[in-house]
Amino acid sequence: METSTCQHGDFDEAVPSGDQNRYQEERSSPVSESRSDSVSDASTTCDVCLKGFKCKYSLFRHQRIHSGVKAHTCSICFKRFTQGSHLRAHMRTHTGERPFSCETCGKSYTQAGGLNAHMRTHTGERPYSCEICSKSFISCANLICHRGTHTGERAFSCETCGKSFIQKRSLTAHMRIHTGEGRCSCETCGKSFSDRWFLNAHRRIHTGEKLHCCKTCGKSFSKNSTLKVHMITHTGERPYLCEMCGKACISRSYLKVHMRTHTGERPFTCGKCGKSFIQSGNLNNAATRTCTVRYDLKCCQGFYFGSFVKLHFKGPN
């Protein structure tokens, strides 16, 4: 089975060089394009990765991935690309054109690769498998992103706060927290996000759209991450272990919060009274809210968790 990264945008996420050829073709090649992974003619075989092609032009185009030559430039933002097809798809981010539509739910994409990956959310197909843990994914991009959880490699670091990321795109989105530039706002409630992907996920709270369905009980969710947490209620799996006390957590984010009970880190501070907490009270992920009632405090902005209120009032003030 093929292996690869995370699909999370159009073009600006970075992929390890060894996976560039598979990733680029997965994302941008038209559905109808035919190609062969093993061709006997040595003249149409890449001498770097040994991938075979049906014609010399396809080989020439592919080799730009290895050489790094970006001969195609966007006339609007001057971003450069190795292939004309990548530039054409990029131009749609300026024009708003999304010609590839899902016949099942109507969702549309700027390129065929995005539609192909999306269709697997309906069919259940997950053709990209991790060679380390055998976990499977709907896209080559999602797999490469997952690999970072094994290697721990985070090659992209924020020069402002030092936070590091597996993908360049994630760093770009994070930088908007510092600069405030390029944020996307929800037209319904006005909430802003550093990345359009997060905005699209947020919109489902308003529309009620739930694309991710549990195959065991049929319950559906607006986010795939919420579905994953839900699945643990069936499997009982708690794969994330605390190295200090051995406590098992259902997700990496829960483990991260738990670790603060050992380190004493309290990164979330009340803007009015100055009291700090281990976890944000204004959580927007509906899946993690244990209570939908907002507790408004005299000294604070408010918290979604009753437990945060109790913790807050344990202090001498």
Say whether 220-288 and 126-204 share the same fold: yes
Confidence check: pLDDT of 305 > 70: no
**Mean pLDDT on 113-127:** 88
Q: Which residues pair with 165 in a beta bridge?
A: 156
In angstroms, the CA 117 to CA 17 distance is 21
Per-domain residue ranges of the chain: 44-95, 126-204, 220-288
Angle made by CA atoms 114, 115, 118, in degrees to the nearest 5: 90
* Architecture label for domain 44-95: 2-Layer Sandwich (3.30)
pLDDT score for 26: 42
**If pLDDT is split at 50, 70 and 90, which confidence band does 42 have?**
low
Q: Looking at the chain, list the stretches that DSSP marks H as alpha helix, in order from N- to C-terminal side.
A: 20-28, 56-67, 84-95, 112-123, 140-151, 168-179, 196-207, 224-235, 252-263, 306-313
| Residue-wise pLDDT tens digits, 258-271 | 998 999 888 877 76
* Architecture label for domain 126-204: 2-Layer Sandwich (3.30)
Alpha-carbon Rg for the chain, nearest whole angstrom, is: 22
**If pLDDT is split at 50, 70 and 90, which confidence band does 11 have?**
very low
Q: Are 242 and 258 in contact (CB under 8 A)?
A: yes
pLDDT score for 30: 35
- In CATH terms, the superfamily for domain 220-288 is Classic Zinc Finger (3.30.160.60)
Tell me what the pLDDT averaged over the chain comes to: 73
pLDDT score for 300: 45
Cα distances from 135 to residues 24, 143, 150, in angstroms, run 21, 9, 12
**Lookup: tokens for 26:** 């997965």
| Residue-wise pLDDT tens digits, 81-99 | 888 888 988 898 889 898 9
Q: Tell if the pTM clears 0.75, that is, is over it.
A: no
